[in-house]
Structure 1
Amino acid sequence: MKFNIQSRLLLSHLSAVSKVVNSKNKLSILDNFLFNLQGNMLVITGSDQETTLTSRVEVQDAEGSGMFAANVKTLLDMLKSLSDTALTFEINDENLDINITYLNGHFNFIGVNGNEFPTKAESDEEPKVFTLPIKKVVEGIQHTIFAVGVDDMRPVMMGVYWDIKPDEVVFVASDTHKLVRYRELNTSTGLEQSFILPTKPAGILSSILDKKDGDVKITVDSKSATFETVDYTLSCRFVNGRYPNYNSVIPQSSQYDINVDRQSLLNALRRVSVFTSSSGLVKLELRPNEIFMSTQDVDYSTSAEEKVSCDYNGDTMAIGFNDENIIDVLNNLNSQEITMKLIDSSKAGIFLPSEQGDDEDLLILLMPMML
């Protein structure tokens, strides 16, 4: 086999595929990229057994066809050390000797038989297929992935939940302290389906699709999903288990509604959080036209107070939040102003962007701390 390709083009595709490869693998073959030359199309695959990512890139002057595998670290380190230059790959079909020639030199190493690479088992069930705009998939993941749980004791929380309905797609994530629900409205799928996309493939999918246009073809069965675009195909297994009823924990009414400049509140919280105790408790006291926040650490005799102007004319009330959690929430609300909806000091608070698009509905729930 033989083909030519620009080093930077190859590096961009290998870097994307490498995101799925673990640093340590039970199967040594998974330390490699799988290359499959089909005419002038080079198909590159990486896998960790649970998730598989395939990239397609066009090459020039291709001769022959077939598969071979090459070490991930070797190829990436080699390409990162080169300026953009034309590369000629020559692979001996018999002993898999790989010779890579460029303007000022060449690299030589032995590849691995591509037939050793694991393949996806065929499913007997009829899959469901639908299409979504790339933009909506990326927005759904990026709005929710920060709230995904990391507790191995609650595996169903360790992923982004997709609740697909005929005319909308709802993305949900929760670590039990905070919950994000992002609804993509007026999105025609024509089916009802739900699944939990694990954190790793969700993050990879978002990164490879970010800033791209077009649609994603999504094929779903009871255990896995495949996301396909012109350049990439990602297949992954779902998190097993039943996701909790997220709507049941979202308050449907509030006693206190506060509008405040997001950046002003965020900056003030960052300052006072320096002086929190190990619990991270920040006390927010709502007063007419202002939020008075305070923290203290009795063990070190430190404290901080600051007030932020807001649009609020109700009764005074106080509520406590963990500093890291509320800062995380505000960092992921991309609007100039936000609305806080509170019931009392013991009930979850709702955070909303003051302005949202016609086709979206973002809501973040945050559990309070005891004052």
Structure 2
Amino acid sequence: MQINLTREDLLKPLSYVAGVVERRQTLPVLSFVLLKLQDGELTLTGTDLEIEVVARIKGLKGNNASAEIALPARKLFDICRALPADAEITIKREKEGEKATIKSGKSRFALATVPVADFPNIQSQQWEQALTISQASLKNLFEQTHFCIAQQDVRYYLNGLLLEFVDKKLRAVATDGHRMAISEIPLEKSNKSEKQAIVPRKGIQEMMRLLDDPDGMVEIQVSTNHFRAQTSGFVFTSKLIDGRYPDYTKVIPHSQSKLLKLPREATRETLGRVAILSSEKYRGVRFSLSNKSLQITAHNPEQEEAQEEVSVDYSGEAMEIGFNVNYMIEAISSLCSEYVVFGLNDPNSSCTLASPEARYPQYVIMPMRL
């Protein structure tokens, strides 16, 4: 078997697939990429058994025969990346079981292969929900929420992003138990039925990397156990986290007695400066609210202190409340408006952060004791 193509043909699709493949796998075959040539179209498949990415290279000339081969994903990607920009590449193997030869100019590489029959694939069921939206909208939805997904929480359903199909909206919710992000995008057509799907953290991170065409469209499909995103260049499939997501609406404060309108960029910079002297372990900062003033202070175990003051339109009772400064900075950075509305009730209640112009994205952050 033989496959002829250029470095430019191979590099981008291979980068899609190599991101899913882990360097250290319990099953050796999972560190390989499956190349399948048929009718002048080459597909590259990588999987870790939870996520599968299939990238397509169409219109390959001079490749009339069919071919299948599994090669080490990371090594093939590194070789391809190291070759000159206009390099011609030939992938060749005389017979099954032998090493494959990668040739380009005067360069030659012999790579191990595994039997194609050993390569796993994710079997999906009948799709219950399907819609087509712009890649930019979906990527933006993920960027506004993904950083609030829990990492290795025993409540396994928090280790993913909740996608909720409601009416003519696609909503995303993420929480790690200390903060929560909610955002949504409008859809042109109503969903067939209301449905929830929890996509694993790694799946969301991979999709954010794959959705790289701001003018392109992506088709989303959901079944009982799987989520699929499909464009002309790739097919992404992920198993869903099995579990019931908590009722996030109970966490959102329905009314707040103190609403502060702050300049977004200046507030983010202020928090960044104060964070320098916050405790590296707890990252806590104190917000002291009084007449026309918001004072932000941080202390650390070395008895060092940072203090900043922000002018605010506030004339109520004085109040002190502590927050994780990283949570505040990440939420404020994800808002795109000129100002941010900071909602509070009392020192023991969660705060909210949102744009004055839109309801979503919205962030809820629990206070912390300092």
TM over 0.5: yes
Alignment pair present for 1:310 and 2:309: no
Q: Distance in 1 between matches of 2:341 and 2:127?
A: 44
Partner of 2:295: 292
Alignment pair present for 1:12 and 2:12: yes
Letter in 2 for 1:369: M
Distance 1:276 1:122, change over 3 A: closer
TM-score of the two chains, using structure 2 as the length reference:
0.92
Give SS of 2:63's match.
Answer: strand
- CA RMSD after TM alignment: 2.0
Alignment pair present for 1:146 and 2:147: yes
Q: Distance in 2 between matches of 1:136 and 1:198?
A: 19
Q: Are 1:261 and 1:310, in contact at CA under 8 Å, matched by a contact in 2? A: no
Q: CA deviation at 1:128?
A: 3.0
Distance 1:220 1:126, change over 3 A: closer
Q: Are 1:264 and 1:308, in contact at CA under 8 Å, matched by a contact in 2? A: no
Residue correspondence of structure 1 range 48-59 to structure 2 within 5 A: 48-58=48-58, 59=60
Give SS of 1:67's match.
Answer: strand
Q: Distance in 1 between matches of 2:272 and 2:32?
A: 43
Deviations 1:20-66 (A, max 9, x none): 11122222111110000011110000000111000001222103103
Partner of 1:176: 177
Partner of 1:23: 23
Q: CA deviation at 1:186?
A: 4.5
Q: Are 1:259 and 1:312, in contact at CA under 8 Å, matched by a contact in 2? A: no
Q: Are 1:333 and 1:353, in contact at CA under 8 Å, matched by a contact in 2? A: yes
Letter in 1 for 2:296: M
Q: Are 1:224 and 1:236, in contact at CA under 8 Å, matched by a contact in 2? A: yes
Alignment pair present for 1:273 and 2:275: yes
Letter in 2 for 1:341: G
Give SS of 2:138's match.
Answer: helix
Q: CA deviation at 1:122?
A: 5.2
Q: Distance in 2 between matches of 1:243 and 1:129?
A: 21
Q: Distance in 2 between matches of 1:120 and 1:273?
A: 44
Distance 1:110 1:176, change over 3 A: closer
Q: CA deviation at 1:211?
A: 3.3
Letter in 2 for 1:60: K
Q: CA deviation at 1:96?
A: 4.9
Partner of 1:347: 349
Partner of 1:219: 221
Partner of 1:369: 368
Partner of 1:127: 128
TM-score of the two chains, using structure 1 as the length reference:
0.92
Letter in 1 for 2:295: F
Give SS of 2:274's match.
Answer: helix
Structure 2 unaligned runs (5+)? none
Give SS of 1:179's match.
Answer: strand
Q: Are 1:317 and 1:344, in contact at CA under 8 Å, matched by a contact in 2? A: yes
Distance 1:279 1:205, change over 3 A: closer
Letter in 2 for 1:39: D
Percent sequence identity over aligned pairs: 25
Q: Are 1:226 and 1:233, in contact at CA under 8 Å, matched by a contact in 2? A: yes
Q: Are 2:148 and 2:175, in contact at CA under 8 Å, matched by a contact in 1? A: yes
Partner of 1:319: 321
Structure 1 unaligned runs (5+)? none
Letter in 2 for 1:175: D
Q: Distance in 2 between matches of 1:93 and 1:172?
A: 50
Deviations 1:80-106 (A, max 9, x none): 221111212333344454333323333
Partner of 2:195: 193
| Number of positions where the alignment pairs a residue of Structure 1 with one of Structure 2 | 366
Partner of 1:106: 108
